[in-house]
Structures are given as C-alpha cells and as structure tokens.
Structure 1
Amino acid sequence: MDIVRVTDNKKLFLDLLLLADEQESMIDLYLERGEMFALYEEGVLIAECVVTDEGDGVYEIKNIAVYPQYQRQGCGKHLIDFLFEYYKTSCRIMFVGTGDSPLTIPFYTNCGFAYSHRIPDFYIKHYDHPIIEGGKQIVDMVYLKREF
C-alpha cells in the first residue's frame, strides 16, 4: 500500500469524501485548509483522509473513507497508523468527530482513540437532510481523541 499527500484537485476525490461526509457544503469547510492523504494499492485508489491543523499541536481528522469493497481489510487502520507516525513530532492531541454510531466508534477506539466529548444535535443543525447509519438517525457528533 502506498500513501501519498494530495495537494491539488482535492475535489477529484469527492465521491470518496462523500462516503464519510454526506454533504458537500460541509466538506468545503475543511477540504482546502486540510492536508489530504490518499491510500493506493497497485495504483488503485482505496481510501483517503483529510486532517486539519487546529493550532497548538491539536489536529483533527475531518474525513476518512474507504471504498466499500475494501472495508474491513485493515485499510482504514493503516491510514490512521500512518497519520500517527506522520504527525508524531507536531501533534499533542489528535481528534476525530463522528456520528454516534455503533459502526464507527468501535473502529476509532480500536485505533487508540478514547471518548472526549459530544456536541448535541450537530447533525440536525448542520446538515440539510437526515444522516442515517446502521438504520439509525445520527444526531450528535461524538469526539474522540488520542494524546501523544
């Protein structure tokens, strides 16, 4: 697997970005200010992530997505491990915000993240349509963190 930093034409990855964040206007809030990384295997795009520098050694994973046919094969974990190594000298806290979903929270806890805080009604207030995951409407944003 190869991971490359994407500096131009980040919107070319929109189909993959939308797997993790269903509303393009929300992606637009962080895409250009974030660092994007793409994971390829034998030249085939498998996954991507976007990380923002929030200042004072705090970074946030704003988007991480793996194409469905490659999910549950360790690709997302590989990308997270890469991020921890890439940011190890500049990062003191890495956050990730996700919906309150039994499909995503266990993934992040298995990657070394722990519960930090919750933003009630985030998805109701900021998205123009209901976000459904695992048959359940996602309402709150749950933040997890890993300290370095």
Structure 2
Amino acid sequence: MKIELVLENKKRFLDLLLLADEQENMIDLYLERGEMFVLYDGDLKSLCVVTQEDEGVYEIKNIATYEQYQGQGYGKRLIEYIFEYYQGRCKTMLVGTGDSPLTVPFYERCGFTRSHHIKNFFTDHYDHPIYEGGVQLVDMVYMRRDFDLQK
C-alpha cells in the first residue's frame, strides 16, 4: 500500500472525486487549492482532498473509495495518513458531510465528533437531490477532531 501526494492534473481522478461529491462545479471550488492524496494497493483504491481553512485549521473536502473496495479499511488508513501528514501544523481537522447513516459513523470511528451543521446546504447548493443510504441529504453536518500541537 502506498499513498502519494498529487500536485498536478488532479481532474484525472474526477470519476473517484464524483463518488463523494456528485457535482463537478462544487469540486472545482476546492480542488486546486487543496492537497490531494491518493492511495494505491496494487491499483488506485481511494483519494482525499484537504484544504487549509485558517491557521491550524484544515478540512477534508473529499474522501472517496471505489465502491468495490469500500469497507476494507482504505478510507480509514487514508485519514490516519492525513493526521500524520499534518501533525504539528493542524490543531483542528474538519469534515463536512451529509447526515447519513453511512458516513457519520465512519468519521466517528476515525475520532471525529459532531461540531455544527449548515441548514439546507445540499438543497441550496446542488442542482439535484442527493441521496446516501436511502436518505436525502439536506443539512451539512460538520465534524471535527482536535489535536495537541505540542506532540
């Protein structure tokens, strides 16, 4: 298993990006300003895009694993790598997600806790209804994990 930082031509991974964020113009809002990490285990399995939002505050904007590889630990391993990569620089890691029975428990297992939500985010910013696990996503749930910068 190897994880690589992608510095250019990030759109070549658009098919995987669209698994986590269904609308390309929304991906365009963060893709170039974010750092992209891709995980290979033989072939490409997962990716993650992280942006710096403030001094010491980073946000996971997109994390996706191809469907046939989901549930095998690739997403969790990528998040663990992200935590290591930003160690000493990140005091708070945020992630915004839908209030879904699929994603919220995943982030909780990775050490995130609920922070706040943005009402009607998905209905206001996407041109079509988005469903996950049979549930329409309406509000964005923000989750956070805080780190001690002294470590």
Q: Aligned with 2:32: secondary structure?
A: coil
Q: Structure 2 unaligned runs (5+)?
A: none
Amino acid at match of 1:145: R
1:142 maps to 2:141: yes
Q: CA deviation at 1:89?
A: 1.0
Amino acid at match of 1:87: Y
C-alpha distance after superposition, 1:32-62 (max 9, x if no partner): 00000000012x1100000000121000000
How much identity, in percent, do the aligned residues show?
Answer: 67
- In 1, the alpha carbon distance for the partners of 2:135 and 2:93 equals 27
C-alpha distance after superposition, 1:75-100 (max 9, x if no partner): 00000000000001100000000001
Structure 1: 4+ residue segments shifted above 4 A:
none
1:48 maps to 2:47: yes
Q: Structure 1 unaligned runs (5+)?
A: none
- Taking structure 1 as the reference length, the TM-score comes to 0.98
- Taking structure 2 as the reference length, the TM-score comes to 0.96
1:103 match: 102
Q: Aligned with 1:37: secondary structure?
A: strand
Q: CA deviation at 1:14?
A: 0.2
C-alpha distance after superposition, 1:90-116 (max 9, x if no partner): 000000000010110000000000000
1:127 match: 126
- In 2, the alpha carbon distance for the partners of 1:13 and 1:93 equals 27
Amino acid at match of 1:57: G
